[in-house]
């Protein structure tokens, strides 16, 4: 007897989608929701990517997230599975490419028994490499009438007994409705991401270090660190999902205050003088002032991150206890200078981004320095535990280091 789908759960999912603001968090959540709705063991979500190859514009599908419950169960608690960066041409040769090309849902009961004459085929190399058997699949587009946004491919629907079964016509109908709402949420998130990237592009025009790749890496590192910290502390799934959404947006904007720093200092290819460094420190205050009028939780977290991502665990960082609007000290030492924030006086978001930012800065090549080798970077990070960085978060950082390295590969710096 075919299992029925809880329509109330679908309505709840649609409500959840409308509340997620960050594009990457949304894509990961869409995939998980789609899998849960039809009880799929695994799946991938692809985003449309337009690139220029040999002078021609080419559309591909870029895998953004992959999930596999069978693989996940074999990992230690709290650890996430890694996945490969993969591009699929939008043409009729592969199932996902065919789905994207024709904006058509493809339901295959058995990937090893695709009907003769089908224009697409199944590449079984992944199965051979991992020992995982892909059987049933359901691939559907995320698209408007005018534009393809992405594709979701779900793998191996399971019944109550855990047996792999084909996806049903009811699954197709429900996911078609789900795709409409997911696409609407994606369009909204694309607009939010575009606005953020424009702010970052403005910073990049002033400071070549502030690139899209850098801020995406820092944001993803921050989410990975937070996820493991939240797991350690027993934070509920709902609270975790909500905070990681706004954390990623806030982390992307951590250095937006640099737009207020003079070019002579910002673009200086050598060390700052003490006077120049004191001016540079105020990018934290300028950035925080952009979010002072809190209209959403994102504003509060973005302000905290901009203001405190250079504070040190031992209180020696900057800018310290300063009002971001007036620039006046809130807490002062005997000389009238602002006291540094220390320990848990620094918001969790700022403590996390501090680690993510330093790791990425040391690991990346700049016009004034080469990238440090990995052992040097990790040794430095570990050596700053308890002085510059929160000791517990350093433990967490090393626990999620495999995921951090995977993110480095997902967002490489552009060649110049």
Q: Which residues are catalytic?
A: 258
Rounded-to-integer distance, Cα 188 and Cα 149, Å: 12
C-alpha 314/C-alpha 110 separation (Å) is: 59
Quick one: DSSP state of residue 6? -
Query: CA–CA separation, 255 vs 397, rounded Å?
Result: 21
The rounded distance, in Å, linking the Cα atoms of 368 and 382 is 24
Nearest Cα neighbor of 173 from 134, 140, 150, 135 is: 140
Angle ∠(386,250,247) on CA atoms, nearest 5: 70
The DSSP code for 135 is: -
**Biggest CA pair distance of the chain:** 83
Which residues sit opposite 68 in a β-bridge?
A: 42
Say if residue 212 is exposed, middle or buried (CB neighbours under 10 Å; 0-12, 13-18, 19+).
middle
Compute the residue count for the chain. 416
Which of 194, 204, 171 has its CA nearest to residue 37? Answer: 171
């Amino acid at each position: 007897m075919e299992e029925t789908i809880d329509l109330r759960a679908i309505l709840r999912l649609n409500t959840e989608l409308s509340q997620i603001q960050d594009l990457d968090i949304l894509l990961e959540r869409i995939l998980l929701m789609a899998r849960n709705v039809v009880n799929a063991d695994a799946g991938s979500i692809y985003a449309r990517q337009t690139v220029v190859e040999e002078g021609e514009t080419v559309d591909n599908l870029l895998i953004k997230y992959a999930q596999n419950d069978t693989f996940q169960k074999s990992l230690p608690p709290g650890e996430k599975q890694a996945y490969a960066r993969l591009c699929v041409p939008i043409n009729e040769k592969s199932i996902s490419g065919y789905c994207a090309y024709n904006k058509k849902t493809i339901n295959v009961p058995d990937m090893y028994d695709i009907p003769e004459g089908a224009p697409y085929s199944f590449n079984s190399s992944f199965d051979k490499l991992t020992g995982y058997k892909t059987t049933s699949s359901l691939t559907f587009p995320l698209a408007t009438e005018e534009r393809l946004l992405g594709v979701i491919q779900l793998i191996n629907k399971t019944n109550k007994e855990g047996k792999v079964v084909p996806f049903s016509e009811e699954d197709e109908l429900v996911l078609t409705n789900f795709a409409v709402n997911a696409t609407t949420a994606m369009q909204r998130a694309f607009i939010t991401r575009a606005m953020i990237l424009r702010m970052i592009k403005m910073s990049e025009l002033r400071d070549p270090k502030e690139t899209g790749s850098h801020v995406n890496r820092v944001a993803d590192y921050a989410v990975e660190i937070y996820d493991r910290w939240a797991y350690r502390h027993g934070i509920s799934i709902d609270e975790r999902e909500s905070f990681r959404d706004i954390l990623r947006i806030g982390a992307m904007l951590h250095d937006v205050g640099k737009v207020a720093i003079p070019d002579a200092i910002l673009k200086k290819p050598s060390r700052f003088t003490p006077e120049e460094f004191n001016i540079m420190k105020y990018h934290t205050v300028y950035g925080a002032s952009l979010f002072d009028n809190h209209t959403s939780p994102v504003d509060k977290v973005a302000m905290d991150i901009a203001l405190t991502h250079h504070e040190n665990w031992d209180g020696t960082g900057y800018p310290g206890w300063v009002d971001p609007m007036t620039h006046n000290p809130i807490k002062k030492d005997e000389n009238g200078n602002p006291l540094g924030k220390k320990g848990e006086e620094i918001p969790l978001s700022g403590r996390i981004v501090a680690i993510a930012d330093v790791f990425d800065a040391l690991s990346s090549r700049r016009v004034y320095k080469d990238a440090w080798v990995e052992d040097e970077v990790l040794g430095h990070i570990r050596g700053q535990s308890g002085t510059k960085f929160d000791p517990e978060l350093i433990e967490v950082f090393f626990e999620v280091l495999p995921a951090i390295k995977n993110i480095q590969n997902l967002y490489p710096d552009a060649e110049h």
